[in-house]
Every structure is written in C-alpha cells, then in structure tokens.
Structure 1
Amino acid sequence: MNYTTQMDAAKKGIITKEMQIVSEKENIDVNLLRDLVANGKVAIPANKNHKSLSAEGVGEGLRTKINVNLGISKDCPNIEPEIEKVKKAIDLKAEAIMDLSSFGKTEEFRKKVVEISPAMIGTVPMYDAVGFYDRELQDITAQEFLDVVEKHAKDGVDFVTIHAGLTKVTCDTFKKNKRLTNIVSRGGSLLFAWMELNNRENPFYEYFDKLLDICEEYDVTLSLGDACRPGSINDSTDASQIEELIILGELTKRAWERNVQVIIEGPGHMPINDIKANMLLQKKLCHGAPFYVLGPIVTDIAPGYDHITSAIGGAIAASCGADFLCYVTPAEHLRLPTLEDMKEGIMATRIAAHSADIAKGIKGAKDWDYQMSEARKNLDWEKMFDLCIDEEKARKFRKESMPKHEDSCTMCGKMCSMRNMNKILDGQDINILRDDNENVTSCNQ
C-alpha cells in the first residue's frame, strides 16, 4: 500500500521502517506508536531525501529530545567550523540539528549537513530568503518565500520552522498590547517587517495550503514557529503569545487533514511559575501536538550562564508536557557560540531532558540513575565513568586531583561516606587516621 507521509501511513495502518526504528529506540510497542503518529501526538520527522537519517520520534510517551542550533552568518561565514560543530553535536547524542544559516554558502552547508547527519535536520527558510535572492526583504514575493521552503525540502530537511501564526490579527493584538521586548523571534520580526512594509497578510498563512503541498510531497514536518514568543519574563503569557497559539492550533488541524506532521514551538523567556500553565495551554489549544520549547529561560539577568537558566526551565517544561527542548548555550544573547559553548549547551539540555523523563515516568529513564548509584556505592570508578553523561569531563576532573587512596576522592579522602559505610557494614575497621599497612583490630572482635 502506498503512502505519502508518516502520518498518512499511520492512518492507513502501515508500519514504516522509521516507525520500527523509533519503536526499538524507545522500547515502545510499534502499534501504539503508529496510533500516536496517526493522531498527531507523535511526529517522526523524516524527509524522503534524508538518506543518512536515523529516525527519532518526538511526542507523547517518548524520551524528551534535544535540538542544537548552528549555522553560518554574515559575520561568521566559514563553513568548516560549523561542520565541526555538527559532527560534535552528533557525537554528543543530539537528536536534532537546526541549520539557522542566513548568509553565504547556505545551500552548500545545508546539503553537507543533510549528507552526514543521522540526526534530524531542521531549518528556518525565512532566514535564508534574503541571502538566497540577494534582495532586500521588502522586494521578495510571497511565491519566492514558498520557493525557498521547497528548495529546503528538496535538499532533505526533515522539519521547517514556519511562523504562520503571525497574521494581521496577531499583529493588531501585538500593537494594542505593548511589550517590553517587542517581537524577539528573528523569523517573526522579519515577517512582521515584510507585512508592514508591503501591507500584506503573512504569505505562509495566506498560502498555507501551498505550504502543505510542499510538506506532503517530501514528508517534511511542519514546526509551527512562535513569532510572538516572549523575549523577557515581563512579556510571558501575554495576549500576543496566546493569540498566536490559538491560530497555531487551527493550522495544526488543517495540516493533519493533509497528513502533514506538526510540532508546535513554544515560549522563550518565562518565570518558573508560568511554565506549567503554558504547557497545559499548548497541549489544549493545539490538540496534543508535540511541543518544542526554547528553554524556557527563567530569568533575564544571566548572560553567560543562559545554558543554566534554560536548563532549569527546560526540565520543568518537559516534566509538565514539553516533548522537545532547543538547547541554549552560555553565549546566548552575546555572540555565535563556539564549539565549547555548544558542548556546554548540549550537556545542560540533555541533563534537563533526562531529569524530566524521570519525572514523566518514561520507561527505563531511572535505570541509568540506578546503575550510577550502584557504581558509586561500590566505588567502581570505571563503571561510574562509563555511565557519565560526559565521560570525558568526569575523567578529566578525577585525573586533575587524584587521591592518595584510590577508593576515595580528594573531597573526602578516607572520610568518604560510601567507603566507610561499606567497611563498617562489612564488619571492618574504617581506618580514617592510620595508614592502611598498620595493624588494626576488627570492630567485631
């Protein structure tokens, strides 16, 4: 039986090879997974032209996935450092990579990333349009925006961020409800400018059916972007954000009718006490579609540490229903991240995702922690290193400060609680002050 997209296959009762791969990775019954895809609760972004892909599922009942942003820009147009980041992100087990390139050899870079990456690839075609046509934003036509989307789809991109919810109505709401930080989404601000300069409706909303034609043809998942996401905790959960979310829910239904998979993008900056309500609102208004959040960043005062502010918000968001976390690096708000910044962002986000999976009761999530705790109890350092989320860093720290007694560390030495509890429960003397070669008497004698 033929099918056009993963969702089309699922609705027809077909189990695709991508569903089988995801089922095995997640240890979930493949028939249940197929039903979740059919109902839009899980998306499996898998462009027909992405031949190197190892499929991942995003959504209900699955592990929380993470995304890494990278790409070339006018200030940093060199492809090679970004390719190095792609390879490192894959090594560090990121499930998705978003190419946010906006200048230079964007097509060459995009094709190379698709060629080498088993991780799913996302883009924001709006970013690429100005450089692609080498014309000012105002002069690009609605059809030309769609043509760029189709170009990305042909190149094998698995999901595209499209800010289709920023309509004239949304813009009016924004103008009537002043914000501290206005529209901080790069794609959203570009679209808002285009609409204002041309006095036109958002082309991605006006020609949404044509957009769906492209997504259906290549099986590109539509990541409905949050142009009105808050860029400060002051603007969280305001009228503009909610107005756009309602429209995204309507567009989700239209996409599903065409068998196009959907992911909903969510808030950026948000105080902790707003997070749970926002996760509930998204799931309600967007009919249970997978939710993808940037952070959320829970305080605005920590440039240089926003991988931490983001991980705090991400862990809470995912524990309350978010399915997909976009990483944030220490360089957020400051500059293009370096390779080391990227690693710090990935690790912080992976920790947040795993912490949320424990809270959500994802099958097998706690097993990893159990094994680590068992290795700690047994003072099995090699097992601990093997289980570390960042083995390289853990080994480095240990090597930099080796203890006199190898069954301890330089923090506690022979006062190590694990060491001493093991000994005392085994009927041995704990021997804190004496050298190990001195004669001691068992505490049981």
Structure 2
Amino acid sequence: MKTQLELAREGVITPQMKTVARDENLTPEYVCGKVAQGEIVIPNNPNRKNQKVVGIGTGLRTKVNASIGTSSDIYDIDLEVRKARAIQEEGADTLMELSAGGDLDKVRQTVLDSTDLPVGNVPLYQAFHDTARKYKNPNKMDPEFLFDLIEKQLADGLSFMAIHCGINQFSIERMRNQGFRYGGLVSKGGTFMVSWMEYNKKENPLYEQFDRVCALMKKYDAVLSLGNGIRAGAIHDSHDRAQMAEMIVNCELAELGREMGCQMMVEGPGHVPLDEIEGNIMLEKRMSGNAPYYVLGPLPCDIGAGYDHITAAIGAANSARYGADLICYITPAEHLALPNEADVREGVRVTRLAVHIGDVAKYPDRRDRERLVSLARRDSRWDDMMRLLMFPDKAEEVRKSRSPENEKTCTMCGDFCAMQRGMSLFENDIRGDKVSPKGDMPN
C-alpha cells in the first residue's frame, strides 16, 4: 500500500485529497501538490473505516486536537467515552487517546469505536505502563516490545502517533550542561524515555532505529508526529539549548521521513512567552521544509492555573496567525487535575475560537462570515446573527436569560441602543457590500 505522500508524488489525487479540497474550498490539485511536498498531511489509517477525513497543513484551516485518557488515579472508561463524544460534538478535528491507567488496550478500542474522528496516541505511555506492571520498573522496557506495541496500536486503527524520536544523548547532555530547568520536564513520554536512556546507558531506540519507525507508520499510512519530549514547561525555559537540540533533530527527521514516503508532522512547545511564538514557528517551518506544525498550547505565562484554557487560547491565536497547523487544546483543569466532560467541552470551544481568530489574521480573504455577522448585528436581525455565531446555543442562553422589552435591542443598552440610533441616521446612505444580503443567512 502506498501512502498519501507517495501517491501525491505520482500525481494521483486520492479520494481523501478530494474531500480535503472540498471541505477547505480549494482545488484538488492544490491539495495534492502540498501533500507531495510534505506540507499537508491526511491522517487516515485504512484499517479504520468511516473515519472523518481531515487535512492538516499549509493553506488549510487551523485544526484543533483534543486529548483524553485515564490516569493511575482515575480509571473510568465510560467517562472517556463521554469525553470523546463531547469532543466530537463540540467540533474538534482530531482526538488523542492518552490513557496511562487501567486496561489500555480496552480503553483504546472503546474510544476508537465511540468516535469517527482521526485518533492518535503516544505509544510510549503503554510501553512504560505495561513494563512497570510486569517488572515494577519502567526502565526495563524492551525496545522490541515497544516496536511490537506500535504496530499493534496501528493495526487497531490509529491514524497518527506522537513518537519521541528526537530525544537523544546530545539533547540530554544539553540539559545537564545548562543546569537543568526552571520548570523541569513535563512530557510523560519524553521524561520516561530520558529515564530509560539514563538507566540503561543507551541511545533512544526510536532515534537509533528511525527508519524502522517510519516503515511501521508507512505500512498503515499513519502520520508520524515527532514528539516534543523536551518541550518547555515554563516560559523561562522557552528555547533553551535542550529544547532547541530536540527541535533541530525533529526537523531533520521530518525531512528524512518524507524521503522515505512517510507523512510527517513536527510537534511544538508547551510554554512560550508571547513575543517568542512567531520566531518559534518560523524556526520550525524553515528547518523542517514547512512540515505541518502541531503546537501544544502554547501557554504564554505560567500563573494562570484554573484559567489556563484562556492562557493557551491567547497563545493558540498567535500560533495560528503565524502558521501553526494543528493546535492541541488546553482545558480549565490543566496543571490541576484530569479533565472531566465539562472541561473538555470548554477546552474545545475556547481553542476553536482561538484558532479562528488566528485564521482571520492568517487568511484576510476568508473574513466574509465576520462581515455577515456584523451586518446582522447592525440591522438587529437577531436570528440571522445567531445562525452565524460559532456558539449560538451559548448566545441564545444568555440573551433569553435577560430578555429586553424591545426585541430589537438587548438589555445592555435598552432604549439607548447605539445600533438602532445609528441606523436611523444613516440607513439611506448604505451601499455596496454594506447592504445586507437578501434571503436567509448561511450557517
């Protein structure tokens, strides 16, 4: 079986490319060309039938990923199913199943059966989890078990994987030489791989046998997302030598993976001050040959726990603006607890709004919905306005809870409605594209 990348290089426009083109209002030729260059990926493992087709990359709408998963403290498969369904209902584009407690095979299969979104994971979680159960020491993980597990999970139908190939002895040495970090290590998979390397005095097998990783991913045409295992967990660690060492390796591996015919993404950092986000994305794009960039957050400050979905939304809007292609949501529970169903709903909504803000800046020619909602608001056409909003249910709930006497206005201004007074002054002067369209507004 050839991958989407290999087929695109032969000039073959696949059904998946056609679907992406239709959904994004682009030509199939454009999508095929960008897939051939490695600038668009389509996570679509053929072992999983009827999953949603999603394109990630250059020229496309910035996508939102939402993550779920059990922990050693909370193991509730029904909760994970409810979260997976909530994530899809709220409009996320992809889902990562990141369980680290309980029967991980059962959780993964149950989640795969409960959604048609493309699903990804981090195989190191189960590799270390199962090894710890068997030997009481995750550092005794057998690399052969890890590679067998990657294939097993791919055969189950996972369409993308975050695999920590870029951690190596050189990046660990940078960590030591810089005096460790303010925020420590925050990636579970990355930290346990560093621990394994230190305990066994060996190189990362995912880095040493990168061609083997790519061969497995190609077999199932899954997207290899090069994990950000040494990402910064504090803005004071942003772009330190250890993080940059891993980023350089990941960008180089992205190029090597594409040469092998494997679809590739690069993962980006967690905590980044606002003034560094543009530079971070520029570096990834330049060093990787414009590989799709999957950004975790980012969080531009460290003191927002409880509201870190808002903190991350600010970072996400800027990341989308400057060229990030896939943003992993943050929920209100970040840094505090395992998210519940309400947390994941709020996380998806806030992140969707954030990436839309970024896309409004990134694609100035795609702002017509903003114009139409403004016209509806100006004209006090409340039903039309509601249809155009991203979250009409929330808007309706607020409006109905505080209904005005005059249905044309709202209780913010009442008789002093600026929109009503402005229209009374300038209604006869409206012309051009400032004239409201006739008929029903589009959704």
Q: Kindly tell me: are residues 362 and 339 of structure 1, through their superposed partners in 2, closer, same or farther at Cα, counting changes over 3 Å?
A: farther
1:56 deviation in Å?
0.8
Deviation string, structure 1 residues 88-123 (Cα, Å, up to 9, x no partner): 111111001000011212222222322332221110
| CA distance in structure 2 between the partners assigned to 1:426 and 1:259 by the alignment | 59
Structure 1 residue identity aligned to 2:73: D
1:426 deviation in Å?
4.7
Partner of 2:437: none
| CA distance in structure 1 between the partners assigned to 2:110 and 2:261 by the alignment | 28
1:274 deviation in Å?
0.8
- Please state whether the residue corresponding to 1:104 is helix, strand or coil: coil
| CA distance in structure 2 between the partners assigned to 1:383 and 1:112 by the alignment | 40
Question: Which of 25, 31, 46 matches 2:23?
Answer: 25
Partner of 1:198: 200
Structure 1 residue identity aligned to 2:243: Q
Q: After superposition, where does 1:260-275 map in structure 2 within 5 Å?
A: 260-275=262-277
Higher Cα Rg, which structure: 1
Partner of 2:436: none
Structure 2 residue identity aligned to 1:228: I
Give the conservation status (yes or no) of the 8 Å contact 2:128–2:192. no
- Please state whether the residue corresponding to 2:367 is helix, strand or coil: helix
Partner of 2:347: 345
Partner of 1:144: 145
**Gaps in structure 2 of 5+ consecutive residues:** 429-443
Partner of 2:97: 99
Partner of 1:79: 77
Of residues 110-119 and 256-265 in structure 1, the stretch that sits farther from structure 2 once superposed is 110-119
Structure 1 residue identity aligned to 2:146: F
Structure 2 residue identity aligned to 1:207: Q
Deviation string, structure 1 residues 304-351 (Cα, Å, up to 9, x no partner): 010111010111111111111110011100001121111111111111
Partner of 1:368: 369
Question: Is the aligned partner of 1:387 residue 2:388?
Answer: yes
Give the conservation status (yes or no) of the 8 Å contact 2:64–2:351. yes
- Please state whether the residue corresponding to 2:252 is helix, strand or coil: helix
| CA distance in structure 1 between the partners assigned to 2:238 and 2:375 by the alignment | 42
| CA distance in structure 1 between the partners assigned to 2:380 and 2:106 by the alignment | 50
| CA distance in structure 1 between the partners assigned to 2:246 and 2:425 by the alignment | 62
Partner of 1:48: 46
Partner of 2:233: 231
Partner of 1:424: 425
Deviation string, structure 1 residues 236-267 (Cα, Å, up to 9, x no partner): 11111111111112211221112111111001
Of residues 100-109 and 398-407 in structure 1, the stretch that sits farther from structure 2 once superposed is 100-109
Of residues 418-427 and 366-375 in structure 1, the stretch that sits farther from structure 2 once superposed is 418-427
Give the conservation status (yes or no) of the 8 Å contact 1:104–1:131. no
Q: After superposition, where does 1:303-382 map in structure 2 within 5 Å?
A: 303-361=305-363, 365-382=366-383
Give the conservation status (yes or no) of the 8 Å contact 1:62–1:362. no
- Please state whether the residue corresponding to 2:193 is helix, strand or coil: helix
Aligned residue pair count: 424
| CA distance in structure 1 between the partners assigned to 2:319 and 2:192 by the alignment | 28
Structure 2 residue identity aligned to 1:268: G
| CA distance in structure 2 between the partners assigned to 1:25 and 1:392 by the alignment | 24
Spell out structure 1 runs of 4+ moving beyond 6 A: none
Partner of 2:253: 251
Structure 2 residue identity aligned to 1:277: G
Of residues 57-66 and 106-115 in structure 1, the stretch that sits farther from structure 2 once superposed is 106-115
Structure 2 residue identity aligned to 1:259: G
1:206 deviation in Å?
1.3
Q: Kindly tell me: are residues 15 and 173 of structure 1, through their superposed partners in 2, closer, same or farther at Cα, counting changes over 3 Å?
A: same
Give the conservation status (yes or no) of the 8 Å contact 1:52–1:116. no
Over the residues paired in the alignment, what is the CA RMSD in angstroms? 1.3
Give the conservation status (yes or no) of the 8 Å contact 1:329–1:341. yes
Q: After superposition, where does 1:406-445 map in structure 2 within 5 Å?
A: 406-426=407-427
Percent identity over the alignment?
38
Give the conservation status (yes or no) of the 8 Å contact 2:129–2:138. no
| CA distance in structure 2 between the partners assigned to 1:198 and 1:426 by the alignment | 76
| CA distance in structure 1 between the partners assigned to 2:398 and 2:212 by the alignment | 54
- Please state whether the residue corresponding to 1:122 is helix, strand or coil: strand
